[in-house]
Structure 1
Amino acid sequence: MTEAPPPPLSLPGYAAVFAVREFRTVFAAHALSLLGVVVGEIALTVLVYDLTGSPLLSALVFALGFLPYLLGGTLLSGVADRFPARRVLVVCDLVCAGCALLMALPATPVAALLALRCVIAAVAPVFTGTRTATLADLLGTGDLFVLGRSLLRMVSQSSVLVGFGMGGVLLTVVPPRGALTITVCTFLLSALLLRLGTRRRPARGGSSGGLVSYSLSGVREIFGHRRLRALLLLLWLPPMFVVAPEALAAAYADEIGVGTAGVGLLMCAMPVGTIAGELYAGSALSPGTRSRLVLPLLTLGLLPLLVYALGPGLPWILTALVVTGLSGAYTLGADRWFVDAVPEELRGRAMTVQTAGLMTIQGVGMALAGAAAEFWPVGTVVAGVAVVGTVCCALLAWEVRRTGSRAAAAGRGPKDETGLTAI
């Protein structure tokens, strides 16, 4: 298991993570690349609509942000283990910067714009998986890793609240292609930070065989391990269901007559709850407590969405969304279980697959929720999602507990701060 630098024990919670110099660099690079992604998505959406006048092609910009994740996360996952992490991260940023630069050129046609969007989306899970695996090198696989990953996740959630608004304001000042040049700069700055601010570490995996076969062998190994398979589903399944209210926010706002301001509130409520839940769990709860809360939060987290069936009005709906968002704090304990269960030589591929699957399954959840809303009222659909999701999560909790018990019996279970196996 990777050795962490000595943790600054005098510092509490997240402050201890920021005390690690290399993490500060990774954090800043993450924020910059996220800024580039958000600005680029908005600018590209507006640009494609301006060039074509087609709502379908404009919407494809966002759809193409999900679809290539699965391809890149499976066929290219071996990159995260086969090559030194710093090199992978820098090259990924440079590829994304090159794609954004080509998008910004006036001569680039619409088909090429969409193709370049696909390339960025295919690179994204490799970058994210490599960076997550690198966190274990920077922070170890203990509580600092959990808190470091939580911080990066909160930045991603915050981008939903802040980034799109900033991007919209930016486009009132500069044209879409000009905004894309800002995306180029953010990716280049991220690459520079990672190159100069992190140290070179050797690759984890071997070099024999082709990259695709190496990647797929890792995927087979991950899914062939019952405990890893259960923990992957633990990190994937709740997000598949919780995206339904956000995917249907515009339709629900129209259904209850609250206008565009209501859409914004419905979109923001759950991310606010998620950030608050993670901040509290990471700052105030011990690792053992976070571990013990995983399965209860997993099982009960979707139940507040049942209020949609009653049509109680916007304040109650927003409260339900915030409470469901709070249950996202289960991920801190789940992250610890997952990193403890994954062999070090498989870590990069496992984190890449986890990232790719998470994005893909959220896209599937959005599509299924939208399809269901074609036949039933949105309130009925979201309440139905809460019922189905709760049943699925309860079954998954049973499987996770069972595999955890078996791992403990074999002496492989992750331990909490009391020394007891965390299941």
Structure 2
Amino acid sequence: MPPEQTAETLTPPAPTSHGRYRDVFAVREFRAVFAAHLLSMLGLIVSEIALSVLVYDLTGSPLMSALAFALGFLPYVVGGTLLAGVADRFPARRVLVVCDLVCAGCVALMVTPGASIAVLLTLRCCLAVVSPVFAGTRMATLADVLGDGDLFVLGRSLLRITAQSSLLVGYGLGGLLLTMVTPRHALLITVGTFLASATLLRCGTRHRPARARDGGSALVTDSLKGAREVLADRRTRVLLLLFWVPPMFTVAPEALAAPYADDLGVGSTGLGLLMCALPVGTVAGELFAGARLRPAARERIALPLVCLTPLPYLGYALRPGLATSLLLLLVSGAGSAYTLGLDQWFVRAVPEGLRGRAMTLLTAGLMTVQGVGMALAGVAAEFAGVTATVTGAGVLGTACCALLAVQARRTEGRDGADHHVTGR
């Protein structure tokens, strides 16, 4: 670590510097953001499990239980488009704290005695509407806390790694927790995690003014206008698609893990391994790229990795056994290291006044396309079978990613020009 940096660094290094993960943790505000992210992620995951179990206990319907879980994806597009302006029109710390308090309030209402199924599902939708606003605001704030250079990329990487790890740990802890307490008591615990996250963000980050002025327009109008401005720029539009398109195809094996495990006859243990392989590969790939590669190298490999990420799914055409399937998923997950290069391009391409809305749109689109990808994989598997569907996802995904990579090359070098010329 350079001698001018201390354990309580407040000002991040210059954007051109090469950082390390330990340099990110040296920034005091990031430590608060990171801890709050971990708490809110675990709280959200446990609440999803507890709510789905609670709905099943109340209705006895697997469909209603699955619907309670699926509603975590669908309303993202609403919050990400109609409420995106919140991220830029209000001070970031206030937005983050209020979002956590809203989530805590929604979960607290879920445990109210006599709450109907309609109320529970409505509150679940409210959580999903708030989530992209919170995530987009936090992503934009990272650029303020860490600068828009390498530390921003590494900070984003750490939050993604935490999210993937939380999925692996959270589902296990949630299941274990529900063996000891009722679903309603588990929901009460998640209220505490959201409140703790709000406290960390309020006390651990400093106040910063809003990025954009109100301008007198309604929030929804401003949000839609911001989305149009973000999507109107060709470079930014291509980068958004590069974030969105690969996951839409790579979620196919995850969506079809249960029937595939049944086809292989590997039982619940095999199913668990199939569900874990992709996130484990993702964490390993991000850690390697973040710790071992310099920023220029991450940007050089970004587009090749985008094209290669769906490619291992072609191996499903050979009807592999469990071990080979796990290897294919691990390799595909490791390819997700392309996001480190895309993060740097995206933060350079988006003007600061639109950063919150752009990040919120990115988050909402990412969650939405994953939900769409899972649904499409399920429909395709009904007609073509699991192996043919995953293989097809590999073929189509690779072709789409290659086309997007060509477009990204054509717009390369315009990040700085777009920012200064358009002023958007």
Normalising by structure 2, we get a TM-score of 0.94
Equivalent residue, structure 2, for 1:416: none
Alpha-carbon distance change, 79 to 17 in structure 1, aligned in 2, over 3 angstroms = same
Equivalent residue, structure 2, for 1:59: 66
Structure 1 residue matching 2:163: 3-state secondary structure: helix
Q: CA deviation at 1:114?
A: 0.3
Structure 1 residue matching 2:120: 3-state secondary structure: helix
Equivalent residue, structure 2, for 1:419: none
Q: After the TM superposition, which residues 16-35 of structure 1 pair with which residues of structure 2 at under 5 Å, given as runs? A: 16-35=23-42
Residues 241-265 of structure 1: per-residue CA shift (max 9 Å, x gap): 1100000000101112111111101
Equivalent residue, structure 1, for 2:137: 130
Alpha-carbon distance change, 212 to 408 in structure 1, aligned in 2, over 3 angstroms = closer
Alpha-carbon distance change, 390 to 4 in structure 1, aligned in 2, over 3 angstroms = farther
Structure 1 residue matching 2:251: 3-state secondary structure: helix
Distance 1:236 1:50 in 2: 35
Equivalent residue, structure 1, for 2:196: 189
Give the AA of the match of 2:313: L
Distance 2:25 2:298 in 1: 20
Structure 2 residue matching 1:67: 3-state secondary structure: coil
Q: Which of the numbers 164, 170, 173 marks the counterpart of 2:171? A: 164
Structure 2 residue matching 1:201: 3-state secondary structure: coil
Structure 1 residue matching 2:412: 3-state secondary structure: helix
Q: CA deviation at 1:6?
A: 3.6
2:239 is the alignment partner of 1:231 = yes
2:312 is the alignment partner of 1:304 = yes
Give the AA of the match of 1:361: V
**How much identity, in percent, do the aligned residues show?**
67
Distance 1:188 1:410 in 2: 40
Q: CA deviation at 1:7?
A: 6.6
Equivalent residue, structure 2, for 1:418: none
Q: CA deviation at 1:230?
A: 0.3
Find runs of 4+ consecutive structure 1 residues off by over 6 angstroms.
Answer: 7-11, 408-413
Equivalent residue, structure 1, for 2:293: 285
2:315 is the alignment partner of 1:315 = no
Normalising by structure 1, we get a TM-score of 0.94
> Are the aligned partners of 2:18 and 2:150 in contact in 1 as well (CA < 8 Å)?
no
> Are the aligned partners of 1:253 and 1:263 in contact in 2 as well (CA < 8 Å)?
yes
2:101 is the alignment partner of 1:98 = no
Distance 1:64 1:371 in 2: 18
2:214 is the alignment partner of 1:207 = yes
> Are the aligned partners of 1:8 and 1:16 in contact in 2 as well (CA < 8 Å)?
no
**Number of residue equivalences:** 411
> Are the aligned partners of 1:9 and 1:16 in contact in 2 as well (CA < 8 Å)?
no
Q: CA deviation at 1:351?
A: 0.2
> Are the aligned partners of 1:219 and 1:353 in contact in 2 as well (CA < 8 Å)?
yes
Alpha-carbon distance change, 350 to 242 in structure 1, aligned in 2, over 3 angstroms = same
Equivalent residue, structure 2, for 1:15: 22
| Unmatched segments (≥5 aa) in structure 1 | 414-423
| Unmatched segments (≥5 aa) in structure 2 | 1-9
Alpha-carbon distance change, 15 to 350 in structure 1, aligned in 2, over 3 angstroms = same
Structure 1 residue matching 2:148: 3-state secondary structure: coil
Q: CA deviation at 1:405?
A: 4.7
CA RMSD of aligned residues (A): 1.8
Give the AA of the match of 1:46: V
> Are the aligned partners of 1:7 and 1:16 in contact in 2 as well (CA < 8 Å)?
no
